Copies of this chain bind each other. A is one copy, B any other.
Amino acid sequence: MNYIQSYILEHKNRFINELIELLKIPSISADSAYKNDVLKTADAIKISLENAGCDTVEICKTDGYPVVYGEKIIDKNLPTILVYGHYDVQPPDPINLWNSPPFEPVIKKTEKHPEGAIFARGACDDKGQMYMHVKAMEFMTSTNQLPCNVKFMIEGEEEVGSSNLATFVKNNQEKLKNDVILISDTGMIANDVPSITTGLRGLSYVEVEVTGPNRDLHSGLYGGAVANPINILTKMIASLHDENNHITIPGFYDNVEELSKEERAEMAKAPFSLESYKKALDIDSVYGETGYTTNERNSIRPTLDVNGIWGGYTGEGAKTVIASKAYAKISMRLVPNQDWENITKLFKNHFENIAPKGVKVKVTPHHGGQGYVTPIDSIGFKAASKAYQDTFGKTPIPQRSGGSIPIVALFEQELKSKTILMGFGLDSDAIHSPNEHFGVWNYLKGIETIPLFYKYFTELS
């Protein structure tokens, strides 16, 4: 690839400003109050793909938010890369912990991003990482260097489980036909330790509701005499882990792949400082399943976490009430071979079974997805590795991520192609958290690396 560095240097400010405009739209898919903003973002993506040189761009309706599809087919005999990304973002809550408003992007320097980082909800996940691909495309088409065919599939429901994308993929297998799927929606170890994600965890996300008495009660008159749904909910949730932090749901571990000693030893070679990790989070100790290291706990082991809990009086001051209902949102991260639908069923059955008399329990599955592992001997992986070597000067480390992109397993099943996960964010970029950001250096490095993947993938194919 010629001129790429000079092209980036020349257009750097425009690249940043275009991303900032995109980040200003609060495309929160989880909250229906933002519906118009999510739709507006889809329109903006369509225009950006047209400007980047796609021949055809469509906004494809689904039962939820639309999929933006774009393509440029230069020669049917050449390989086709399908780029997947998403234009929706996580809710910004808790909003009061943001140092600047989540949808008013600002660039600030940080310890890990001395050249500055863009602070905004979606900066890294995934507007920033998705937009790297749009700008890489722009470079390749405007300099006549696009070496193969390209298809873009940018969805608006990734943060709420991609349930309509599954249908879209199933119904458009011919249109989406490709030789490799390329996604930037993960991270890398550090700016000087490039890595490629080779595994993702699956996910089962449920909401539970515990109902006690048919109305809120005075805690003096009824306290101690009826089941308090909040107390019961805490007991039920607490019982989901044993004293070794193993999950107690019967059958939960049945299909969990146990890694060999050799594989675990290989994993342990990745650079990691427990002290820095604790310091960055301001915790005096890590916590988790007995018998596994921190990096194992958050990648090769399944987990169960409460993501939200609420019930009773949560306002200022005191209210002596026994709430009628208590709720929690609970997610389980799953490893390859654990079927998310089966795990959801196991959870539901178990949670209903452990409910004591005096309460009623309702379990509502939200969404889920399978885990994924990609081989490291594929053309795609090799092409990605060579691209990183060119731009980072180092061979990237293959690494399993603890996160989930539920749709990836479905892509392989429906489209029969492998996915390459080229992530340029850092774990410390606070995705899903207040003050999410994405390094300007990382953003531009992504735009520089992606065209090289196209080049090497075409050459190796």
A interface residue numbers (CB < 8 A to B):
29-32, 90-91, 93-94, 97, 159-161, 187, 201, 203, 205, 212-228, 230-231, 233-235, 237-239, 241, 281-289, 294-295, 297-298, 301-303, 305-324, 326-329, 331, 333, 356-359, 366-367, 401-404, 427, 430-435
Q: Once the chains bind, are B283 and A32 in contact (CB under 8 Å)?
A: no
Given contacts A93-B315, A203-B320, A213-B283, contact A298 B402 (CB under 8 A): no
Q: How far is the CA of A435 from the CA of B161 in the complex (A)?
A: 39
Decide yes or no: A281 and B213 within 8 Å by CB, A238-B238, A331-B320 being known contacts: yes
Cα–Cα distance between A226 and B281 once the two chains are bound (Å):
9
User: In the complex this chain forms, how many copies of it are found?
Assistant: 2
In the docked arrangement, what's the CA distance between A432 and B320, Å?
7
* Closest-CB distance, A333 to chain B (whole angstroms): 5
Q: List 14 A-B contacts (CB under 8 A).
A: A30-B317, A30-B318, A30-B319, A31-B316, A91-B313, A91-B315, A94-B216, A205-B318, A213-B282, A215-B281, A215-B435, A217-B432, A238-B238, A306-B312
The 8 closest A-B pairs by CB, nearest first: A224-B303, A220-B403, A30-B317, A285-B357, A308-B312, A227-B287, A238-B238, A214-B282
Given the contacts A312-B306, A314-B310, A288 and B225 also touching, CB distance less than 8 Å: yes
Q: Is the CB of B297 within 8 A of A427?
A: no
User: Chain A: interface secondary structure?
Assistant: loop
Question: A322 — which chain B residues lie within 8 A by C-beta?
Answer: 305, 307
Tell me which residues across on chain B come within 8 A of A213, comparing CB atoms. 281-283
Q: A224-B298, A303-B224 are in contact. Are A433 and B216 (CB under 8 A)?
A: yes
Bound-state Cα–Cα, A3 to B433, Å: 70
The reply to whether A219 and B313 contact each other, CB–CB distance below 8 Å, is: no
Contact A91 B319 (CB under 8 A): yes
B309:A311 contact, CB within 8 angstroms? yes
Nearest to A316 among chain B residues (CB) is: B31
Instruction: Enumerate chain B residues within 8 angstroms of A220, measured Cβ to Cβ.
Output: 201, 203, 298, 333, 401-404
- Do A305 and B224 touch (CB < 8 A)? yes
Q: How far is the CB of A100 from chain B (nearest CB, A)?
A: 15
Complex Cα gap A302–B329 (Å): 31
Chain B residue numbers with a CB within 8 Å of A283 are: 212-214, 226-227, 358-359
